[in-house]
Amino acid sequence: MEMDRLKIFYLEDDGTIPNNPDIPVLIYPDAVKNTEDMEKVFHQNRWRNSWVNGIHDFHHYHSNAHEVLGVKEGEATVQLGGSKGVKITLQKGNVVLLPAGTGHKKLNASHDFQVVGAYPDGADYNMKEGTLKERPQVLIDIKRVPLPELDPVFGNKGPVIKYWLQNKQNVIK
């Protein structure tokens, strides 16, 4: 993958969807050529607890796990970061890394749209929708989610290493 094509989004808390203040959303265009192998690629890099389906059509996030979504078929327009967030078009072969707390919602999709979702080391994930009663605890939970050791596509190299792991070390210093 050409790093100059990588898309990076730092998304701010919108008051409902917390997003992640420390690490960015990463979008890898055309990261996986043979999308039938996408789940296998994620598993080889210790992103497990995978599933194949679509993306929910309501704003939601996971406060206890980072998530990778790889487009196996079709294309969709997705909103990241809550109702005031960015709208992106994803297509077959694209991979999106969502830090814990990052809101996501499918706005529209082709009839054949499918994604593979997975989590570092097969972490369990929760489903949060941005309610007021969730708020205090999710802000704590998001900060506690460990960073993955490997990039879901490129293993011990790639954007997760550069923009999540090295970035986090710089934030801590």
pLDDT tens for 30-52 read 999 999 999 999 999 999 999 99
Q: Which two tokens mark 54? A: 């679509």
Confidence label for 4 from pLDDT (cuts 50, 70 and 90) = low
pLDDT tens for 147-169 read 999 999 999 999 999 999 876 65
Q: CB of 26 within 8 A of CB of 7?
A: yes
Give the DSSP H or E segment for 143: helix 135-144
Cα distance between residue 85 and residue 45, in whole Å: 29
Q: Could you tell me which CATH class the domain 3-172 is placed in?
A: mainly beta
